Amino acid sequence: MAIVVNKPLPEFEANATGGIKVSNTSHLGQILILYFYPKDNTPGCTTEAMQFRDKYKDFVKAGAAVFGVSRDNMKSHDDFKAKLELPFELIADTEEKMCHMFGVVKNKIMYGKKVKGIERSTFLVGPDGILLQEWRGLKVPGHVDEVLKAVKSIKALKKAA
């Protein structure tokens, strides 16, 4: 089942670091940020994780939970999280269930060979479980600030309502 903006997330359940289970209903009442990235310990992914880390308190203050998602296994995630001192959990989508559901698995050309890779993408889910915004095929510079701005605008709308 594919995801659609302005529709509820389809059912899913995934394991994250810290022994946490994340599902389509686990964070109702909270804004949920799911950012998909290709691989732990690669330059772009490290930069992106550090930027989410550095703005994490601002996300929490705005009522958001942040989760990084990749196909890496739990051991790789635990090491990556410890190395970068990430305050948020990482989801190990080793079977690519979430990656396929969110449509982030893409064919890429790497060193002249066709490979399946993860397209760097971020999804913003409202407190009611509705997908509000998506960023696909994004570039790291400035992206985390853009996501934070979107989260803050949701919080402002809720206050105004």
Hey, which residues are catalytic here? 45
3-class secondary-structure state, position 6: coil
User: Which of 118, 143, 120, 122 has the alpha carbon at shortest distance from 133?
Assistant: 122
CA dist 124 and 157 (Å) reads: 15
CA dist 136 and 120 (Å) reads: 6
Longest dimension (CA), the chain: 53
Amino acid at position 49, single letter = A
